[in-house]
Chains A and B, each alone.
Chain A
């Protein structure tokens, strides 16, 4: 056998990377299990609520109001069935791409950023204030929009990045565990933003805690079905996903960032300033969270308002479902975007509480967290050997 042939085979082996394949299987299996558990939950809930004509009558138990198949079908049509629905789905997808990437960037580098939510909230406030201030100064034209919108995004990214940098610094130089610090910084970010808007920078006349609406020139205009969704934002998010993939897979910096997060002492051995890189990874992660916040303000809400949806936590689910792979984040974000969007239709047409989606999100995370569960099931039904050994270093 020639050496050349060996090389070809080795390359092929890598293409069919067992770990990637396995991760995909686990993600799909988790999805299926979450859907099944969700269906049971919906069915049982349907037994509890009262409704005029149940789809199924169980003697002795009562009428079942919710048909799980109908529920899931409504979610699908409610997310892709019309232009409006599609626009809503893509709107969510765009935001989830950014928060998912934010989490994935840190995860890839061996760091667990639960703080995307806080980074997003502060980034959103930064973008809103920038748009409010700059929107008055620029002309009401495309040129004006080209100044104010990027400015809003950049300010959001910088603020989110700085807020992400904090736990990075704490981890690198004070050895404080980033899981704890990022969770805590979420609450602190929320408190600071709320207080600032309520008492200082917000619309003080309003009873609600919110800023004034940003001028038209700063708003990303809707492109599909009248919903607040901009194709430009989606394209930017996709570009970010590809960019991050390239960064980690093809560049020296990406290799060094990952090594620093995974094993600090080894990174230093390899001539890398590991501490600085940990801070860099967290800053990058925070910046993506901040961008998500900016887009939320500039594309969806047009102001900062208390009660920003938990897109940062959804981002954790997106990243985990994607196996923390930046390319995998794309389909995962579409899926969660569709679920979010479908839940609106669910509530309107069937009266099923939209919180169902939050339960499903939790279940998906839970199932993905336990690959051993699926390996056990796989083994029981005789699928394959244990693929645990070939991790390929993708795991963190």
Chain B
């Protein structure tokens, strides 16, 4: 029979092999000299970049938390980010590219709206038409992955958009002028939104009645239903929130660069999936999810800067797979993150 002791050990072995592989990769690429260069790269402007990188990942992660906590696993986060990014650029372009001015705010809102509408479609399909959430989520991702470059070609005649303008940088008065840490306090809107959204999400989930209903909807929808709360509504709210968050994340990503890139896996390039890993590692806690997102973004930024500043060859590919390896290790060894018990299941009220 299968004894738990043996299974743990077998599991450990797999993880050790995976981690070993990664380590070997670093060594072969000359990872030994890495530490010295890392120290040289880290600065306030590095962290400012990390915050920018964190935006799409953390927003996707928090959106995913809201959806899954209500009981709807939203595996289409990547797709929603793509929709957000594409819509932001397309809207800004449509609103006439120059001068950017107030149009960028309108474009931003339109992008959030577009992503939310797609989330609404996903919610309807999952909640009212009782679709398998995993399959429907995959479909949302695949549709977005096909639609964004398709529409780019239709609009711009190629998969990448022209430059359309970026968010203005806002400086926090006084703080932005501080020595050393100053650069941290001049950032674009999405970064400020992120800083607000993390505590807000935590507060919403843990301190409000809505948060309790979200938890009940994902853990035991029948209890919530018999207590007189409409489970359907709560689930819709959760999925729509994930749409809003992903819209912010996607638009933030695209309007920080000022261009939509639709080739390959689009400019979103797996950030939605990393968001998924971030909230699993963060165990469905917005703060944990943010920290995991921040860590992954920091690694990504580090790798970029090492290449630029130190002229140092770190395999960006290997750094890129760290989040995925990490989540696989966490799921395998640290044990199960506590998934809401009713996540993935349909709920049907008796009448």
Please indicate the chain B residues that have their CB under 8 angstroms from the CB of A370 in the complex.
Answer: 125, 129-131, 136
Please determine whether B142 and A373 come into contact, CB atoms closer than 8 angstroms. no
- The 8 Å CB contact of B273, one of A183, A198, A366, is A183
Q: Which residues of B contact A199 (CB under 8 A)?
A: 28-29, 315
Contact assessment for B331 and A180 in the assembled complex, using a CB-CB cutoff below 8 Å? yes
Does B16 sit at the interface, judged by CB under 8 A?
A: no
What is the number of residues of chain B that contact chain A, defined by CB distance less than 8 Å? 58
Chain B residues lying within 8 Å of A307, measured Cβ to Cβ, are: 264
* Chain B 134-150: CB-based contact to A (< 8 A → 1; otherwise 0): 11101111111111011
Whether B21 lies near A192 (C-beta < 8 A) is: yes
Residues of A within 8 A of B14 (CB): 166, 169-170
Q: Does A320 sit within 8 A of B, measured CB to CB?
A: yes
Binary contact track A35-50/B, C-beta < 8 Å → 1, others 0: 0000000000100110
The stretch of B224-232, B253-261, B321-329 that contacts the partner chain: B321-329
**A353-B150, A365-B142 known; A187+B270 contact, CB < 8 A:** yes
Provide the A278-298 mask, 1 if CB < 8 A to any CB of B, else 0.
000000000000000000000
Given A195-B315, A369-B139, also A169-B331 (CB < 8 A): no
Q: Mark B1-45, 1 if CB is under 8 A from A, else 0.
A: 010000110110010001001000100110000000000000000
Give A347's nearest chain B residue, CB to CB. Answer: B153
Which of A49, A185, A199, A359 neighbours the largest number of chain B CB atoms within 10 Å of its CB?
A: A359
Whether A373 pairs with B129 at a CB distance below 8 angstroms is yes
Which chain A residues (192-222) contact chain B, with CB distance < 8 Å? 192, 194-195, 198-200
Tally of A interface residues using CB under 8 Å = 55
Question: B325-340 CB contact bits vs A (8 Å, 1 = yes)?
Answer: 1011001110110010
Interface centre among B28, B140, B320, B332 (most CB of A within 10 A): B332
Contact with A177, one of B140, B147, B317, B331 (Cβ below 8 angstroms)? B331
Q: Is A357 an interface residue (CB 8 A)?
A: yes
**Nearest B residue (CB) for A169:** B14
A173 x B11 contact (CB < 8 A): yes
Min CB distance B165 to A, Å, is 21
Contact A357/B146 with A173-B7, A187-B273, A366-B140 known, Cβ cut-off 8 Å: yes
Once the chains bind, are B155 and A174 in contact (CB under 8 Å)? Answer: no
A316 within 8 A of B: yes
Q: Which listed residue, B128, B129, B146, B328, touches A359 by the CB 8 Å rule? A: B146
A167-189 contacts to B (CB < 8 Å):
169-170, 173-177, 179-181, 183-185, 187-188
Which of A192, A198, A355 lies in contact with B321, CB distance below 8 A? A192
Q: What are the residues of chain B within 8 A of A188 when measuring CB–CB?
A: 18, 321, 324-325, 328
List, in ascending order, chain A residues with CB within 8 A of B333's CB. 174
Q: Are A353 and B154 in contact (CB under 8 A)?
A: yes
| CB nearest to B150 among chain A residues | A355
- Residues from chain A with a CB closer than 8 A to the CB of B142 are 313, 317, 358, 361-362, 365
In Å, the complex CA distance between A360 and B150 comes to 11
A316 and B327 contacting across the interface, CB-CB below 8 Å: no
Report whether B136 and A198 are in contact in the complex, using a CB–CB cutoff of 8 Å: no
Residue A355 contacts which of B25, B146, B328, B332 (CB distance < 8 angstroms)?
A: B146
Contact flag A361-B155 (CB < 8 Å), given A191-B320, A316-B138: no
Which residue of A has the minimal Cβ distance to B320? A191
Tell me which of A177, A184, A307, A370 has the highest count of chain B C-beta atoms within 10 A of its own C-beta.
Answer: A184
Chain B residues with CB under 8 Å of A192's CB are 21, 321
A272–chain B nearest beta-carbon distance, Å: 12
Q: Quote the shortest CB–CB distance from B143 to chain A (angstroms).
A: 3
Known contacts A180-B280, A187-B270; A195 and B25 CB within 8 A of each other: yes
A317 CB to nearest chain B CB (Å): 8
Q: Say if the beta carbon of A97 comes within 8 Å of chain B.
A: no
Please, how many angstroms separate the alpha-carbon atoms of A112 and B135 in the complex? 10
8 Å CB contact of A362 from B11, B140, B325 = B140
Interchain CB contact (< 8 A) of A169 among B10, B273, B277 = B10
CB-CB under 8 A for A356 and B140, given A166-B14, A180-B327, A191-B321: no
A114 at the interface (CB under 8 A from B): yes
* Chain B residues positioned under 8 Å from A317 (CB to CB): 142
What separation, in Å, do the CA atoms of A114 and B7 have in the docked complex? 24
Task: Say if the beta carbon of A363 comes within 8 Å of chain B.
Answer: yes
Using A170-B328, A187-B320, A370-B125 as known contacts, list a sample of 9 further A-B pairs with CB atoms less than 8 Å apart, ordered by residue number in A. Answer: A180-B327, A187-B321, A355-B149, A358-B150, A362-B145, A362-B147, A366-B131, A369-B131, A373-B129
A-B contact pairs, 23 of them (CB 8 A): A114-B138, A169-B10, A169-B14, A170-B328, A174-B8, A174-B333, A176-B332, A179-B75, A183-B276, A187-B270, A187-B321, A194-B317, A273-B2, A275-B2, A275-B7, A353-B150, A355-B153, A358-B145, A362-B142, A362-B145, A362-B146, A366-B131, A371-B130
Please report B residues at the A interface, Cβ cutoff 8 Å: 2, 7-8, 10-11, 14, 18, 21, 25, 28-29, 75, 125, 128-132, 134-136, 138-147, 149-151, 153-155, 264, 270, 273, 276-277, 280, 315, 317-318, 320-321, 324-325, 327-328, 331-333, 335-336, 339
Question: Which 4 residue pairs spanning A and B have beta carbons closest together?
Answer: A358-B146, A362-B143, A191-B321, A366-B139
